[in-house]
Each structure stands twice: as C-alpha cells, then as structure tokens.
Structure 1
Amino acid sequence: MKATYKTQGTCSTTIELDIEDNVVKEVFFWGGCSGNLQGIARLVRGMKVADVIEKLEGVRCGNRSTSCPDQLCKALHEMGY
C-alpha cells in the first residue's frame, strides 16, 4: 500500500511510504535534513511496521513536540497500523 503524508511541525514537508505485508518497503522524506532522513529511510526499510513504531514514536526534535521519525509513525498510524 502506497501513501503520502503531509507532515506537521517538522522541516520535512512530506513522507511517501510503500508498505507491503506489514513491512516497510520504501520511505522517502521531502525536505528536512537530507542525510539524516536518508539514513532513517534506509534503516527502516525491511522492518515490520510495529517495530518502526515501537522504536521511533515519540522522538522529539529539540524543543518541538514531534520529529521526522515521529511523523513517520503518525503516517503509519494514519495508514491503519
């Protein structure tokens, strides 16, 4: 299942996801810290969605109440996970 999620409260503006059989196939972040977000995308590729959420949900960026990893989890929840 492919989805596009508009982020809130982060430097990245959009996350594109491809999930198949509860496993992350691809993630692309638009905007934000390119190197860090490429790293996150590579690390979560092949992971079970539940594991991604367990590890990344609630991560904050500085004084913000969210972060790009946290927004990824929000996108996954919006997709029904």
Structure 2
Amino acid sequence: MLYKTSGVCTREINLEIEDSVIKSVEFVGGCAGNTQGVARLVEGMNVNEAIKRLEGIKCGSRSTSCPDQLALALRQALK
C-alpha cells in the first residue's frame, strides 16, 4: 500500500500488511535515521498495537509526525 503523507518531511509511506501484521514499512523522504528506526520497530507488530503506540505523536509545533502519519496509513489499510 502507498500512503501520501501530509504535514511532514516524509513524502510517502510504503507498507505491506499480512494477516493484521506489519511485514514492511518504507518512508520516502524525511529524517532517514528516525524513519528507518520506526520502520524496523513496527515490523512484525500487530497493526492495532502499532496504531495505539504511534497515533497522536507530534513533531515540534506540528500537529502530526512521521510516526503519526504511519498510524494514519495503517488505519487506512484496515478499511
């Protein structure tokens, strides 16, 4: 699934989910070290658990962040 982000440096998030488990995540753009770290931490995690942990995280004064955008992408994937 390809998710176009909004309000963050990352332009898009590519993710693969199988049986409600996150198989892979790739952030395009953004802070490479942070986004790679987030991607590796959620791989193998249940989608709902990842959403619970990431949703609502802010980046500085922004109302969203790359982890929050990932939670939005995961929510969309569940639909």
TM-score by length of 1: 0.95
How big is the shift at 1:69? 0.3
Partner of 1:48: 46
Among 1, 4, 7, the alignment partner of 1:6 is 4
Aligned residues: 79
Structure 1 residue corresponding to 2:77, chosen from 72, 76, 79 = 79
Match of 1:68 among 63, 66, 69: 66
Identity of counterpart residues, as a percentage? 57
SS at match of 2:11: strand
Report the TM-score when normalising by structure 2.
0.97
Unaligned runs of 5+ in 2: none
Q: Going by fraction, where is strand more abundant, 1 or 2?
A: 1
**Gapped regions of structure 1 (runs ≥ 5):** none
Alpha-carbon shift at residue 80 of structure 1 (Å): 2.1
Which AA in structure 2 matches 1:16? N
